[in-house]
Amino acid sequence: MAMKLQWRALMPVACIALAVVSGSVRAQEVPLVTGEHWTKSPEQAKKAYLVGIANVIQIETAYAGATPPPDTQSVVPRFVRGLKGHTLDSVREGLDRWYAAHPDQLQRPVIETIWFEMVVPGLQKPR
């Protein structure tokens, strides 16, 4: 009976350890999407990528509720403010235009391009 209790006590610890290890392996396998990937992707894949980013931002915003974290603790509030007025299509078209105008910058990550070419300029606009 004591042995059975020990196994029951160790089982959650083993499951958590397995989840942590497998989670970090998966995180390391996630590729960074660059302009090279972007320019070679069909429109539907581009939209799916942007929907994924939008979903993460929406989840973070909903989780924060009425008290969003300050800008020093999260980029999410700045993403929301900086992309105000944009649609998925306007972001996609903006990225297409930017990478077409900067073929020497195809190694630049798409998320970085969104940040510096859309979010930051959007933050400069008067509210």
Shared-domain flag, residues 24 and 40: no
Give CA separation, 124 vs 89, 117, 121, 127, in Å: 22, 12, 5, 9
- Are 43 and 19 in a shared domain? no
The range of the structural domain enclosing residue 103 comes to 35-124
Separation between Cα atoms, residue 119 and residue 80, nearest integer Å: 8
> Residues near 60 by Cβ (< 8 Å), separated by ≥ 6?
74, 76
Q: Are residues 52 and 103 in the same domain?
A: yes
Cα(98)–Cα(102) distance, rounded to whole angstroms?
Answer: 6
Q: What is the pLDDT of residue 10?
A: 43
Q: 80 and 108: one domain?
A: yes
Spatial distance between the Cα atoms of 102 and 39, rounded to a whole number of angstroms: 11
Asked if 53 and 77 sit in the same domain, the reply is yes
pLDDT digits (tens, 9 = 90+) for 21-40: 445 555 577 789 999 999 99
Segment 64-108, tens digit of pLDDT: 998 989 989 999 999 999 999 999 999 999 999 999 999 999 999
What is the residue-wise DSSP string for 31-68? PPPBHHHHHHS-HHHHHHHHHHHHHHHHHHHHHHTTSP
Confidence at residue 68, expressed as pLDDT on a 0 to 100 scale: 86
Asked whether residue 40 falls in the same domain as residue 13, the answer is no
**Same domain flag for 73 and 14:** no
Per-range mean pLDDT, top range of 11-15, 42-46, 60-64, 66-70:
42-46
**pTM for the complete prediction?**
0.75
Counted domains in the chain: 2
> What pLDDT is stored for residue 120 in this prediction?
97
Cα distances from 100 to residues 87, 93, 110, 117, 123, in angstroms, run: 20, 10, 13, 14, 24
